[in-house]
């Protein structure tokens, strides 16, 4: 029987019975067959709709029915003995709580033509039979037209089925549960800030910046091993966020991966400031530039606490600032603590062992020197404290014993390395506010090279101070701020940096700023980063190896389900990369197929660069135009594969 709607043929295939006990998640759960991973429903013809009707029937009626069968099963024939035994077994199952209900299962099928419909019905029947489900053949189904109507929503009548059509079959509740398409695929939260796909090609959406999608914050970690498409994914995320929210974006990177993105955004009217840190770049990032604000804080505390000595106040601040936890007030900035971290990095060269040897009296000396430098600069009528001012203060701290004076001198000598040469160029000149742009891209340049780790860390702190200043100034407007650090395994692995990031980022939630960090691996992250990474609610993990999971487990407790989800991610080079997104309310496997433009903008490999420059020569065009041609080629290739 065939129904015609809008010129298209439709029919219904009804299930007669089950040949065996169905597996859990028979239709919806994914199975790994060889190199393929799919659910049974994936293999069904397009536009197939499954309908499953369970009638909740009084169990005493069912027991009476089974007892009647058992009484009627008399005689010595094998069939009678089997019928009686089956009825007895069914009653035993019911006694154990496995109820029996009438269940009718059917599949709506639509075709583009009659031939197409018949082909799809044959495909469906073959698939059902291979999964131990017996359908009623079309030639044997005398009620196909009637069943089509009666299985539509709100049309089913159990009495009609019981007395006339007799299409339902008694099924144990456990077996029905195995067949219910409960095991599906996540479609995300429904807020399309980020649009990925699941394995069924349905859009999977989530939005860290949407208040309904987050519980704590929109801070995010993106982990993508080499070859997983991390750069293209990050470009895609940035493009989507800019399109939706028009945020202020700060990108701190290594290697110029976002240079093309900056050119593309500028071409489309987004104001962009791109900077690479080199000895010739006129940029200064003085880490103590805001030290004059400390004087106001100290004076306010002295007024509140009846003229308490400044040194005593510094000691109390040192006690209170040692531990940072989630219950602590995140609206007040620990400015002195941040500057102390910068000074410690300069003094120790970022060496954790050297920092471990710093005693509490040493830290108090550093804080006293910063405060003394601020007082000296204020008296001189200048508006910024430079590194050399702190060095001078360390050498001239009053009322020190010879031992402490020698220790202060050693620390001053270590800090003096940042007063001239490349260090002096970046950290010992007055800083200026950067231009107010929609997108600022900073390539750490020479500081990302081996041997400059301490200067890289101090520069990162200086950048974060500048960003925080801008975030505070614009906290009352509607635009959010995204602070994105790429290559985090290079930039943010100094153990002393994590406490600083925690201190400054904790305040950003109320200021509408969000900290995103992308890295190839967590292997190089020190254990001190655990609290920093634990502060990030959103984790996006692109296809992982087992070794990568071990590194993740150092910082995030994974359940068995999460562990299995991460291992389930696959990739098909040139087609897609899978990954997993975790938040407090979401855990989902996604398939990432970035737009061709995002792929072209994120191409950073040597062969990709060579292809781009070859196009520039062949077509006498700009690099951005070559990117567009590569994007067109990718899109064309995708169309040819479908």
The pLDDT tens digits of the residues spanning 412-444 come to 999 999 999 999 999 999 988 888 899 999 999
Kindly report the three-state secondary structure assignment for every residue of 578-609.
EEEEECCCCEEEEEECCCHHHHHHCCCCHHHH
Structural domain that includes position 379: 292-426
Q: How far apart are CA 13 and CA 127, in angstroms?
A: 12
Q: Are strands 203-206 and 49-54 parallel, antiparallel or unpaired?
A: unpaired
Q: Which residues pair with 203 in a beta bridge?
A: 197
Predicted confidence (pLDDT) per residue in 6-19, tens digit: 999 999 999 999 99
Domain end marker among 156, 179, 202:
179
Specify whether 456 is located in the same domain as 597.
Answer: yes
Structure tokens belonging to residue 443: 């390539």
Specify whether 75 is located in the same domain as 168.
Answer: yes
Domain end marker among 426, 460, 493:
426
Question: What pLDDT sits at residue 319?
Answer: 57
Specify whether 438 is located in the same domain as 417.
Answer: no
Specify whether 114 is located in the same domain as 56.
Answer: yes
Specify whether 266 is located in the same domain as 319.
Answer: no
Specify whether 166 is located in the same domain as 203.
Answer: no
Asked which of 152-161, 205-214, 534-543, 568-577 is least confident by mean pLDDT, the reply is: 568-577
Question: What pLDDT sits at residue 317?
Answer: 61
Specify whether 150 is located in the same domain as 20.
Answer: yes
Residue 482: CA atoms inside 13 Å, Cβ hemisphere, count?
28
Specify whether 229 is located in the same domain as 169.
Answer: no
Give 271's pLDDT tier (boundaries 50, 70, 90). Answer: very high
Domain end marker among 148, 179, 210:
179
Contact 161, 167 (CB under 8 A): yes
Predicted confidence (pLDDT) per residue in 178-205, tens digit: 999 887 788 999 999 999 999 888 899 9
Predicted confidence (pLDDT) per residue in 475-515, tens digit: 888 999 999 999 888 887 788 888 888 888 888 988 999 99
Specify whether 242 is located in the same domain as 332.
Answer: no
Longest dimension (CA), the chain: 114
Q: Helix, strand or coil for residue 356? A: helix
Q: Helix, strand or coil for residue 183? A: coil
Residue 246 confidence (pLDDT) above 50: yes
Residue 109 confidence (pLDDT) above 70: yes
Quote the pTM value.
0.84
Q: Is residue 267 part of a domain?
A: yes
Looking up residue 207, the CATH number of its domain turns out to be 3.40.50.300
Specify whether 492 is located in the same domain as 365.
Answer: no
Q: Is residue 12 part of a domain?
A: yes
Q: How far apart are CA 503 and CA 531, in angstroms?
A: 11
Question: What pLDDT sits at residue 347?
Answer: 93
Specify whether 161 is located in the same domain as 267.
Answer: no
Residue 335 confidence (pLDDT) above 80: yes
Contact 583, 537 (CB under 8 A): yes
Q: Is residue 186 part of a domain?
A: no
The domain total for the chain is: 4
Specify whether 409 is located in the same domain as 481.
Answer: no
Contact 251, 484 (CB under 8 A): yes
Burial class (CB in 10 A: 0-12, 13-18, 19+), 43: middle
Q: Is residue 519 part of a domain?
A: yes
Q: Helix, strand or coil for residue 563? A: helix
Contacts of 486 (CB under 8 A, 6+ apart): 231, 234, 251, 252, 253, 254, 257, 258, 518
Predicted confidence (pLDDT) per residue in 82-94, tens digit: 888 889 888 999 9
Give 304's pLDDT tier (boundaries 50, 70, 90). Answer: low
Give 574's pLDDT tier (boundaries 50, 70, 90). Answer: confident
Q: Is residue 386 part of a domain?
A: yes
Q: Is residue 465 part of a domain?
A: yes
Contact 589, 199 (CB under 8 A): yes
Q: Is residue 58 part of a domain?
A: yes
Residue 371 DSSP label: H
Structure tokens belonging to residue 416: 């003096």
Asked which of 103-107, 251-255, 293-297, 420-424 is least confident by mean pLDDT, the reply is: 293-297
Residue 331 confidence (pLDDT) above 70: no
Q: Is residue 520 part of a domain?
A: yes
């Amino acid at each position: 029987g065939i129904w015609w709607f809008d010129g298209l043929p439709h029919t219904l295939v009804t299930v007669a019975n089950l040949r065996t006990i169905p597996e859990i998640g028979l239709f919806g759960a994914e199975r790994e067959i060889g190199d393929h991973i799919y659910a049974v429903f994936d293999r069904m013809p397009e536009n197939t709709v499954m309908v499953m009707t369970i009638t909740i029937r009084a169990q005493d009626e069912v027991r009476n029915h089974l007892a009647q069968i058992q009484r009627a099963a008399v005689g010595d024939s094998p069939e009678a003995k089997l019928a009686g035994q089956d009825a007895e077994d069914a009653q035993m199952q019911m006694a154990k709580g496995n109820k029996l209900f009438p269940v009718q299962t059917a599949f709506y099928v639509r075709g583009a033509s009659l031939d197409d419909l018949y082909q799809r019905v044959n495909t469906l029947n073959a698939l059902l039979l291979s999964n131990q489900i017996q359908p009623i053949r079309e030639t044997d189904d005398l009620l196909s037209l009637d069943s089509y109507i009666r299985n539509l929503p709100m049309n089913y009548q159990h009495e009609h089925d019981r007395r006339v059509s007799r299409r339902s079959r008694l099924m144990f509740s456990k077996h029905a549960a195995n067949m219910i398409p409960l095991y599906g695929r996540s479609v995300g939260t429904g807020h399309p800030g980020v649009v990925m796909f699941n394995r069924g090609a349905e859009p999977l959406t989530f939005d860290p910046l949407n208040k309904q999608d987050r519980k704590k914050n929109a801070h995010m970690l993106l982990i993508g091993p080499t070859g997983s498409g991390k750069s293209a994914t990050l470009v895609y995320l940035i493009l989507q966020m800019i399109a939706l929210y028009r945020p202020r974006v700060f990108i701190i990177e290594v290697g110029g991966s976002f240079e093309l993105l900056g050119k593309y955004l500028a071409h489309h009217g987004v104001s962009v400031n791109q900077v690479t840190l080199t000895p010739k770049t006129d940029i200064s990032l003085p880490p103590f530039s805001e030290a004059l604000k400390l004087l106001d804080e100290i004076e306010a505390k002295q007024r509140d606490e009846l003229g308490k000595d400044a040194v005593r106040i510094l000691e109390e601040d040192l006690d209170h600032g040692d531990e940072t936890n989630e219950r602590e007030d995140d609206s007040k900035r620990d400015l002195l603590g941040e500057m102390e971290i910068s000074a410690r990095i300069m003094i120790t060269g970022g060496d954790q062992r050297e920092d471990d040897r710093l005693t509490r009296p040493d830290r108090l000396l550093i804080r006293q020197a910063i405060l003394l430098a601020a007082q000296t600069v204020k008296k001189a009528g200048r508006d910024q404290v430079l590194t050399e001012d702190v060095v001078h203060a360390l050498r001239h701290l009053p009322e020190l014993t010879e031992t402490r004076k020698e220790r202060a001198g050693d620390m001053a000598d270590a800090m003096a390395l940042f007063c001239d040469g490349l260090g002096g160029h970046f950290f010992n000149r007055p800083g200026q506010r950067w231009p107010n742009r929609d997108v600022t891209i900073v390539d750490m340049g020479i500081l990302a090279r081996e041997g400059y780790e301490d200067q890289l860390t101090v520069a990162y702190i200086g950048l974060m101070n500048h960003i925080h200043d801008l975030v505070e100034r614009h906290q009352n407007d509607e635009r959010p701020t995204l602070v994105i650090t790429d290559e985090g395994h290079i930039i943010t692995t100094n153990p002393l940096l994590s406490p600083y990031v925690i201190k400054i980022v904790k305040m950003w939630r109320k200021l509408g700023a969000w900290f995103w960090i992308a890295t190839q691996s967590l292997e190089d992250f020190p254990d001190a980063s655990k609290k920093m990474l634990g502060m990030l609610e959103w984790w996006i993990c692109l296809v992982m190896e087992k070794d990568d999971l071990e590194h993740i487990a150092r910082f995030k407790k994974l359940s068995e389900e999460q562990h299995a989800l991460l291992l389930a991610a696959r990739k098909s080079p040139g087609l897609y990369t899978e990954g997993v997104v975790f938040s407090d309310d979401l855990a989902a496997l996604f398939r990432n197929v970035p737009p061709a433009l995002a792929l072209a903008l994120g191409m950073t490999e040597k062969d990709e660069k060579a292809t781009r420059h070859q196009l520039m020569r062949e077509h006498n065009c700009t690099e951005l135009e070559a990117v567009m041609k590569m994007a067109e080629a990718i899109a064309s290739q995708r169309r040819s594969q479908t």
